[in-house]
Structure 1
Amino acid sequence: MTKKRKKRPNGSVFRRGHKWAYAFQGPKHPLTGERERITKSGYATEDEAWEAMDEAKAAIATETYVKPTRATVADFFEAWFPYVRTSTEPTTAANYETLARAYVLPWVGKRPIQDFLPSVVAALYEHLLTQGRRKRNTNWEMYQLWLDARTAKREIRPREIADKVGVSYAAARKAVRRYEVGRVPAKPEPGLAAKTVKSVHIMLSSAMSTAVRWKYLSSNPTDGVKPPTVPRRSHNTWSPEQMARFLKIASTDRLFGLWVLDASTGMRRSELCGLKRAALDLDAAVVRMTSTRVVAAGAVRDGSGKSARSRRALALDRFTVQALRAHLKRLDSEKADWGDGYQDHGLVFCWEDGRPIYPDTITEQFNRLVDRAGLPPIRLHDLRHSYATIALRSGVHPKIVSSRLGHATVAFTLDTYSADIPDLDQQAAEDIGGLFLPPADEESA
């Protein structure tokens, strides 16, 4: 039962059941000129209701007012997903949606978004770190089946693994091939890695910033929560000798030009897959990164790079120019052989008939070449890390290395690779000390 109202100019406070409520006329709509009635209940005392109304009016005056809503966290994200698909790169949008659906919505999706407080965010991170893994690890399941069969000295075929785990035959066949050459997965933990939770934080911070702009929230709840610290670990990289060994084995591969370009520039897979012939100026020995091809939610999409810094021009060495000239000559020959059947997408690295190569196929071919070369297994992306560490060790200025990698800042480059090159710090100590300190006594040193 609503009891008699106590009024002030443009506002009133009244009893609603056992609680107090307020109501007042909001500002005129900028287009229609109509005023919206603003009301909220649930206050224990009359004074609390008056105070809350005054706060709401002040927020409206400064355009920071957030209208009470029954929308849940899940309701907001379902509205946010289409927006982020049109406002970010395809891979970013797909990753954000995957992170939200796997690690946020299952735990807090039903919570009213206006109750999504910093304390809730902190509790979510703690839960994810300790027991947040929800996605099935089919790679580990396949490996366990394969390992059990080997222990029992029983042959197990990829078809049997595929049927038992519920994956495709092609996925099981590739998995068995990995296990046979020693590429085995690590046992999954119940909690997520700190790096994954930090990725959740980055996604959530972006989403909640939009929630503030869209007036779901008055402030971003992630601003008061620090993400977990990611331990700084060295990357798996090759030495110059190992890099040379890989290129020697890859010299007979049709995509030799791609492997040389990757090793000599540290380009990302997406940049290699999206590289256009128009972006190559071999007379000037320059390649320009202006387009990418990425896998997002299982589909390949064209993009323009991770950031403005990633859209860059790179100088090429003479051997890389030579390898690329040979590759382009082969492309022209294949185009002539295919005639009208050639599908010209303008790509530097493609199939014989011009069709784009699925990016994961590039990774699989890289793994086969690594195994053939008998080198320590590394990821395709680790070629980029190898390039960076080799360049820094050879004395190339960090600013140049950062620019060639397309990093946002030199500080990011140094932070990323400092654990990979501790010997440079020792060398710097000796070089600097040698400028003004007397030689150390060999016996006491």
Structure 2
Amino acid sequence: MAQGSILKICTCRDQDGKKLGKRCPQLRRAGGAWNAHHGKWGYQLELPRKVDGSRRSLRRYTFDSKDDAAKDRDQALTLLALAGDDTALATEIADLLQQVKAGAPMPDRDTIAKRVSAGLPASVDMTVGEYLRQWLESRRTIEPSTIRNYGCHIRVHLIPHLGAIPLVKLLVEHIAAMFTAITDRNTAIEVARQSEDPQIRATVRGIRTTGPASMQRIRSTLRKALNDAMARSNNRLIDFNPAKHVELPSAKQPKPRVWTDKAVARWRETGKRPSPVMVWTPQQAGAFLDYAQDHDIALYPVFVGIMHRGMRRGEALGLRDTTVDLHNALVTVDLQRTTVGYDAVDKKVKSESGNRTFALDSFTAAAWRAYLTRRAHWQQVNGSTWPTTGWFFVQPNGEKWHPDTVSKRFDSLVRRAGLPPVRLHDLRHCAATYLKASGADLTDVKELLGHSTITITSNTYTSVIVELQVERDKAEAAAALVPRRRRPRDA
């Protein structure tokens, strides 16, 4: 590669108005030395040809000393050397050099090297949006549900607010402004919901606000992506992670509250729940199970298991015949059936504490035995079309349950039964509350629910047992605490 020539020129003009450039006699003193008070130093460097094959050169004459000109020229040569034998990249870098304005510094060599290494054009700043899309694509080996969450955060929040900012210029202030805008949007949604104008209320129907927990998860996604940008081997894209230094409101989990008579009356009057997480009284729980047994016998045993033994929805649907031992009244949880988007997927439970074995109470064991009798009848009716899956809870046609179907049918049963609303997951809270109220200690509750620490159990449940304090034996008493209507036999 040609090293270019360094020379001194000036802007003086001759009598015809033409610039003298390096021909100006004032550039040198009488003895031939350079005149330090006249002209500017610069250089001329042959550049890679244009796309059309035409020749071009880089000329920069804005320097006060020969050393400054040489340093700038060497920076240009260093940038051109990044291309190696890649002629297309050499043309891109030459285009970049010609775009640098007179007097402006040359682009930083390491910054351009990072762009080139990332597969981006040398002449374009990598934006936050470009990096996040590239980063998400590189994360395809992790859990599909995690990928979906990352993608949602990037698409809905991060790119709209931060996408156009150059990655290397992303600041704490930019991220803080994003969360301020999200908070302002939340306020606007709530104001619209309270409007007396039905047309205004209609504009936010079905639109969710972004709560503190969601904001924490959005920041977590950005923080992870920026950490990876700092940790890239050989080429760190950034040297500072601003997402680590953004302060957000605490994302405390809502405390479960009990549907007392007073809470139910207020809900019927206003439609508002005391808390997002609600727990039925034992009488309400018994009324639900009675209604489910009469109106959805196929899912009734699933609800019994969640209500009495505190399983998550996915854990109950992930049971297999090999993990349910009704003879010894023992159940092992090691798989879960959950969703990614709307697609149902089967996978191992998330944590070691979630992988657990627990005892069944006699009531749940009896309900599950009756279920197996019904399941055998379903299989006999379907004959050769019955699929052999090995899953414990299946539909009457033998197919596995879709988790969302189970939740929708639960919600429908609650509405039709006229009971105050709870989520299907809240049956797990019911189980824990009844167990604690029946005399079990927090360690028993922690082990049953599969919590990783007793702190989680304590923080969640110690505030809801005041109205449910009774003396019972542990697992057996927790089931007996739920009153049921007498029947000739357990169908």
TM-score, length-normalised on structure 1?
0.66
Q: CA, structure 1 residues 202+310, in 2 after alignment: closer, same or farther (shift >3 Å)?
A: farther
1:225 aligned residue (242, 246, 255): 246
What's the CA shift for 1:345? 2.3
Report the AA paired with residue 114 of structure 1.
Answer: V
Report the AA paired with residue 247 of structure 1.
Answer: L
Whichever of the two has the greater Rg, that structure is 2
SS in 2 for 1:104: helix
1:361 corresponding residue in structure 2: 405
2:153 corresponding residue in structure 1: 99
Q: Structure 1 CA distance, aligned partners of 2:430 and 2:179?
A: 33
Q: Structure 1 CA distance, aligned partners of 2:302 and 2:396?
A: 14
1:285 corresponding residue in structure 2: 329
* Offset from partner CA, 1:366-410 (integer Å, 9 cap, x none): 123223433211111111122222233333222332232222222
Q: CA, structure 1 residues 202+240, in 2 after alignment: closer, same or farther (shift >3 Å)?
A: farther
What's the CA shift for 1:324? 1.4
Q: Is this contact kept in 2: 1:232–1:419, CA < 8 A?
A: no
1:314 corresponding residue in structure 2: 358
Q: Is this contact kept in 2: 1:402–1:409, CA < 8 A?
A: yes
**Size of the alignment, in residue pairs?**
353
- Is 1:248 the counterpart of 2:303 in the alignment? no
How is 1:307-386 mapped onto 2 (pairs within 5 angstroms)? 307-386=351-430
Identity percentage over the alignment? 28
Q: Structure 2 CA distance, aligned partners of 1:26 and 1:390?
A: 72
Q: Structure 1 CA distance, aligned partners of 2:175 and 2:101?
A: 26
Report the AA paired with residue 443 of structure 2.
Answer: K
How is 1:288-303 mapped onto 2 (pairs within 5 angstroms)? 288-303=332-347
SS in 2 for 1:367: helix
Report the AA paired with residue 193 of structure 1.
Answer: G
Report the AA paired with residue 275 of structure 1.
Answer: L
1:276 corresponding residue in structure 2: 320
Q: CA, structure 1 residues 421+232, in 2 after alignment: closer, same or farther (shift >3 Å)?
A: farther
Report the AA paired with residue 286 of structure 2.
Answer: A
Q: Is this contact kept in 2: 1:133–1:192, CA < 8 A?
A: no
- Is 1:109 the counterpart of 2:124 in the alignment? no
What's the CA shift for 1:206? 2.8
Any gaps of 5 or more consecutive residues in structure 2? 1-58, 83-92, 115-121, 256-276, 470-491
1:125 aligned residue (176, 179, 192): 179
Q: Structure 1 CA distance, aligned partners of 2:103 and 2:462?
A: 59
What's the CA shift for 1:13? 4.0
* Offset from partner CA, 1:86-118 (integer Å, 9 cap, x none): 213x33322222222112111112222222222
* Offset from partner CA, 1:156-184 (integer Å, 9 cap, x none): xxxxxxxxx9xxxxxxxxxxxxxxxxxxx
Q: Is this contact kept in 1: 2:299–2:406, CA < 8 A?
A: no
What's the CA shift for 1:134? 11
TM-score, length-normalised on structure 2?
0.61
2:218 aligned residue (200, 203, 212): 200
* More deviation, 358-367/124-133: 124-133
Q: Is this contact kept in 2: 1:233–1:419, CA < 8 A?
A: no
1:71 corresponding residue in structure 2: 126
2:85 corresponding residue in structure 1: none
Q: Is this contact kept in 2: 1:289–1:310, CA < 8 A?
A: yes
Q: CA, structure 1 residues 422+112, in 2 after alignment: closer, same or farther (shift >3 Å)?
A: farther
Q: Structure 1 CA distance, aligned partners of 2:446 and 2:243?
A: 30
The root-mean-square deviation of aligned C-alpha atoms, in Å, is 4.3
What's the CA shift for 1:6? 8.6
SS in 2 for 1:270: helix
Instruction: Pick 1 or 2: higher relative contact order, CA cutoff 8 A, min separation 6.
Output: 1
2:136 corresponding residue in structure 1: 81
